[in-house]
């Protein structure tokens, strides 16, 4: 009997490679297909259309015990439009499809869509369609985001260059620590029935339950004439996203511990859980910040943009991927962020 391969053995990206290896382009309008944050379509001479889609599955990506369903609707939109921003584009439309079980009331679904509409209003996006069907396993949300980007402005994962600066927006690790708080309080409630204690954790909880996408950074990059040489959104963890850029660009990197931005509230929660703050900053998911590379000549310009931190530089591929600790030690970087089928 032929041995069957489990999904855990090859992981999400191994599975994608297996099921898409026979995919070919038959239309001139397909500029770029599988392998980046978005598919890239070309219908005009100067502008690309960007399309991305994501699934959120109850019990895998969210827990309704501690996730307000209105917040879930908002976050579902952010998860998807983040991919458009990661191509240096502007999201314009979304479609929303849901599979929902009988345990949900009409009012609950209205709350979900209230969150979706709130996000659409905040980011100037049109909800233009979708689908609904029944489910026997809870709630599944599928959103497709559509955006645009000028041909001269598009940023792929595969085009980082040696000596480029590595930049991140915002701060990292907060969403992961917010999740730790929620899971801890859920466990205490199940064991002893105590009401959750969430006071003092507002920042990390907000980053987990109702994240925002740094669209203002995209606007500032354009204002300053900076086109990232490569870009990706940080949804699965900084380490994993760096590996994607370096692998697809055939380069290495050095990043510096002292440069990685960590919010003081995140550090406080890490101390409470006896977790080194660097760990969630490197490997935690759900931050929906942007990781990008720029030419070293843009250093002065990028330094004027509030909310962007230079954390390292791109090196030759044979030099590997390394984290430089505060003490000066050089540690090989490992991709330990979120991976489907192994969680």
Supply the angle between the helices 174-192 and 202-209 in degrees, to the nearest 10: 100
Cα 71 to Cα 118: distance, rounded to the nearest angstrom: 10
| Least confident segment among 14-23, 105-114, 188-197, 201-210 | 14-23
Confidence of residue 141 (pLDDT cuts 50, 70, 90): very high
- Over residues 205-260, the pLDDT tens digits come to 999 999 999 999 999 999 999 999 999 999 999 999 999 999 999 999 999 999 99
Rounded to the nearest 10 degrees, how much is the dihedral formed by the CA atoms of 185, 186, 191, 195? 60
Q: Are 35-150 and 165-332 equal in CATH topology?
A: no
pLDDT greater than 70 at residue 22: no
Q: Above pLDDT 90, what percent of the chain?
A: 82
Model pLDDT, residue 5: 77
Asked if residues 52 and 84 have their Cβ atoms less than 8 Å apart, the reply is: yes
Q: What is the pLDDT of residue 32?
A: 83
CATH-assigned architecture of domain 165-332: Alpha-Beta Complex (3.90)
Q: Closest Cα to residue 173, out of 239, 86, 83?
A: 239
Average pLDDT of 98-108? 95
- Look over the chain and give the mean of its residue pLDDT values, rounded to a whole number: 92
Q: Could you read off the pLDDT of 275-313 as tens digits, one per residue?
A: 999 999 999 989 999 999 999 999 999 999 999 999 999
Higher pLDDT among residues 191 and 71, named by residue? 71
Sequence ranges of the domains in the chain: 35-150, 165-332
Distances (CA, A) of 335 to 122, 138, 144, 155, 289: 33, 31, 27, 22, 17
What is the pTM for the complete model shown?
0.92
Bridge partner residues of 321 (DSSP): 253
**CATH superfamily of the domain spanning 35-150:** PurM-like, N-terminal domain (3.30.1330.10)
Least confident of 25-34, 43-52, 306-315: 25-34
Residue-by-residue DSSP string for 25-48: ---TTEEE-SSSSSEEEE-SSSEE
Lowest mean pLDDT among 18-27, 56-65, 147-156, 191-200: 18-27
How far from 160 is each of 46, 157, 333, CA to CA, in Å? Answer: 22, 7, 18
């Amino acid at each position: 009997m032929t041995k069957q391969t489990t999904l855990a053995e090859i992981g999400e990206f191994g599975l994608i490679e297996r099921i898409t290896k026979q995919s070919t382009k038959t239309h001139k309008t397909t500029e770029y297909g599988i392998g980046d944050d978005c598919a890239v379509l070309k219908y005009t001479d100067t502008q690309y259309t960007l399309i991305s889609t994501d699934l959120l599955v109850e019990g895998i990506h969210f827990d309704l015990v501690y996730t307000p369903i209105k917040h879930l609707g908002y976050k579902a939109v952010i998860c998807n439009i983040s991919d458009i921003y990661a191509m240096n584009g502007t999201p314009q439309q979304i479609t929303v499809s849901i599979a929902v079980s009988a345990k949900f009331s009409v009012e609950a679904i209205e709350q979900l869509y209230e969150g979706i509409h709130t996000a659409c209003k905040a980011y100037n996006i049109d909800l233009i369609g979708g689908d609904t069907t029944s489910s026997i396993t809870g709630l599944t949300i599928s959103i497709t985001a559509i955006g645009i980007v000028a041909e001269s402005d598009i940023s792929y994962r595969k085009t980082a260059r040696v000596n480029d600066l590595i930049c991140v927006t915002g701060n990292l690790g907060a969403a992961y620590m917010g999740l730790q708080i929620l899971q801890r309080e859920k466990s205490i409630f199940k064991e002893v029935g105590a009401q959750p204690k969430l006071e003092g954790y507002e920042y990390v909880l907000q980053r987990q339950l109702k994240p925002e996408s740094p669209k203002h950074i995209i606007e500032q990059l354009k204002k300053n004439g900076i086109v990232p040489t490569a870009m990706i959104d940080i949804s699965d963890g900084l380490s994993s996203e760096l590996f994607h850029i370096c692998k697809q660009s055939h380069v290495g990197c050095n990043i510096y511990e002292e440069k990685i931005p960590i919010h003081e509230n995140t550090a406080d929660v890490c101390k409470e859980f006896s977790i080194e703050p660097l760990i969630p900053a490197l490997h935690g998911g759900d931050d929906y910040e942007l990781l990008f590379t720029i030419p070293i000549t843009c250093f002065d310009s990028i330094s004027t943009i509030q909310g962007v931190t230079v954390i390292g530089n791109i090196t030759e591929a044979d030099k590997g991927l390394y984290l430089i600790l505060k003490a000066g030690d050089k540690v090989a970087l490992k991709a330990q962020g979120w991976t489907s089928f192994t969680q």
